[in-house]
Amino acid sequence: MGRGYIVDDAVERYLSALCGQPTVPVTGLLIGQSTTQRDFVVMATRTPQREESTTATGNSVDKDWVTEHARQVSRMLPGGLSVLGVFIITENDGKETQATLRQLVFAVDNLISSEHLWKPADDDVTECVTLHVNPKTRKTTCRTFEVKDPKSTAKPADWKYQCGVCSSWVMVSCWLNVDMLVPLPNNRTSAEYMATCVKEGLKAWAHQIDNSVCLIDGKKLPEDTELTAGQKRNVKQTYTTQLLIMPEELRSADVIQSCGGSMSVRGTIHSRVYLHSNKPKSKLAEKLLKRDVVSTVATRVQMLMEELQASEEESKSRETQLTEQLPRRVFCPVKATGPLCVCDYQFSDEDLCEVTDRLKEMLDIDAAEEDLDTRQEMTADIAESRVKEEATVETVNALEPKRKGFTGVAIATAAAVLAAAASMLYLNDV
């Protein structure tokens, strides 16, 4: 037998409810945490219906729509939770279904991985799961694929439902001051080149985060330290961390290049990681926390750039300085009881009802506004004079989902600020 999957019984009820719906096939994502020993599945969420489907008709599956949904869902997952694989509910038990699942799981992993700004670690789990459920017989077929191997074939896996999987988790969190400066190119009319420069700047900052020193409850712990050692069971366990970032050294070999502007990201962000309470190690907590820090900052900058690229009129502004608020991070519990939360990003001009709408659309979570945790980050106040410039700035319109599915704003030349757990973007000309 291959990998083992311990699945919360709420997932079984969710899939059973989908089996009773007339629309087939139904596709969706499986969400949880991978460890070297086994995987824990805490959620399943169906692919939302496409309003105007031009490519998917009849019983076919729209691969692009499924993968775009996975990309947006991955942005809504805090550290420790990730998209583990895909499921399909269909009466077709033939090879076509398994071939479809294989295509989906590889496409989903490729798209999500393309947004990662960190290097893979040796202990990263690279097997992803596919699940086929027959709605009539309720037969469940679980297989895994080594997604980093294009020639990988399906391996059988053990799929086991269990009560209370969502309740046994440790939370590790931190607040981090961000002060990042990204030079922008002289040719600001090239939106694609500008996006490349921003991504390279984010990668350089991510390297600093990766090399930072992590203190858990004020201590630098050995890598093999079990966080829950000596702790009582069934007691809520939370840990506060600090990331100590070393300043970059200037090297004589560094090349000085001219630039047409700069983007500055400043402020404080909240980061958190969930670890299953089965002997969680400090090494894993540190790795996942650093990745969440990088991911949450990069996600906000990317969202803002997407909105800026989609706002053609704003992009033609004559302003030489532009200050924008990055969206703040809002958390929502997966269940009414239990520590696990997912997250969303709220722009300053959005109401909380828009956040609950996205949670329903993307994760199929019925959340009320009072369920949302908005205390971790505040919205920054912008007070800055704006200077006009002579030359106009052009941008290229990019394909983006509607804001319901995470759009952002369009960059002319800007800089970003996340302040006192608030987020903003500033763009400056040199």
Q: Which two tokens stand for residue 10?
A: 């709420």
Provide the pLDDT for residue 232: 64
Query: 3-class DSSP state for residue 319?
Result: strand
Question: What superfamily does domain 4-167 belong to in CATH?
Answer: Cytidine Deaminase, domain 2 (3.40.140.10)
Angle at 50 between CA 46 and CA 17, to 5 degrees: 30
Segment among 19-33, 298-312, 342-356 with least mean pLDDT: 298-312
Q: Is the pLDDT of residue 339 over 50?
A: yes
Provide the pLDDT for residue 309: 72
For residue 381, count CB atoms less than 10 angstroms from its CB and return exposed for 0-12, middle for 13-18, buried for 19 or more: exposed
* Residue 116 per-residue DSSP state: -
Highest mean pLDDT among 5-19, 181-195, 218-232, 313-327: 5-19
Highest mean pLDDT among 185-194, 208-217, 221-230, 418-427: 208-217
Q: Give the confidence band of 195 by pLDDT, cuts at 50, 70, 90.
A: confident
Mean predicted confidence (pLDDT) in 26-46:
95
Helices (H) and strands (E) in the chain, counts: 7, 17
Q: Is the pLDDT of residue 400 over 50?
A: no
The string of pLDDT tens digits covering residues 148-171 is 999 999 999 999 999 989 988 999
Q: Is the pLDDT of residue 421 over 90?
A: no
Mean predicted confidence (pLDDT) in 133-155:
94
Q: Look at residues 89, 86, 87 and name the one whose alpha carbon lies nearest to residue 135.
A: 89
Tell me the pLDDT of the chain averaged across its residues: 83
The string of pLDDT tens digits covering residues 285-338 is 999 999 999 999 999 999 888 877 776 545 555 455 677 888 999 999 998 778
Q: Is the pLDDT of residue 416 over 70?
A: no
Q: In 111-133, which positions are buried (b, 16+ CB within 10 angstroms) versus exposed (e)?
A: bbeeeebbeeeeeebebbbbbbb
Highest mean pLDDT among 63-77, 172-186, 217-231, 407-421: 63-77
Q: Give the confidence band of 45 by pLDDT, cuts at 50, 70, 90.
A: very high
More confident residue, 336 or 94: 94
Those residues with Cβ within 8 angstroms of residue 165's Cβ, 6 or more apart along the chain or in another chain: 6, 7, 8, 9, 40, 41, 42
Q: Look at residues 269, 306, 321, 330 and name the one whose alpha carbon lies nearest to residue 426.
A: 321
Q: Look at residues 384, 258, 410 and name the one whose alpha carbon lies nearest to residue 321.
A: 384
Q: Give the confidence band of 407 by pLDDT, cuts at 50, 70, 90.
A: very low
Angle at 5 between CA 3 and CA 8, to 5 degrees: 175
Highest mean pLDDT among 35-39, 66-70, 256-260, 375-379: 66-70
Query: 3-class DSSP state for residue 300?
Result: helix
Provide the pLDDT for residue 412: 30
Query: 3-class DSSP state for residue 186?
Result: coil
Q: Give the confidence band of 409 by pLDDT, cuts at 50, 70, 90.
A: very low
- On the CB side of 236, how many CA atoms lie within 13 Å of its CA? 5
Query: 3-class DSSP state for residue 298?
Result: helix
Q: Look at residues 110, 166, 97, 183 and name the one whose alpha carbon lies nearest to residue 342.
A: 166
**Rounded Cα–Cα distance for residues 252 and 219 (Å):** 35
Provide the pLDDT for residue 419: 41
Q: Is the peptide bond before 135 cis (omega within 30 degrees of 0)?
A: no
Query: 3-class DSSP state for residue 307?
Result: helix
Segment among 51-65, 239-253, 279-293, 324-338 with least mean pLDDT: 51-65
Q: Look at residues 247, 305, 301, 227 and name the one whose alpha carbon lies nearest to residue 269.
A: 301
Phi first, then psi, for residue 304 (nearest 5°) are: -65, -40
CATH 3.40.140.10, the chain: domain bounds: 4-167
Single-letter residue type at 119: K
Provide the pLDDT for residue 324: 80
Q: Which helix (H) or strand (E) holds 76?
A: none
Q: Is the pLDDT of residue 394 over 60?
A: no
Provide the pLDDT for residue 307: 78
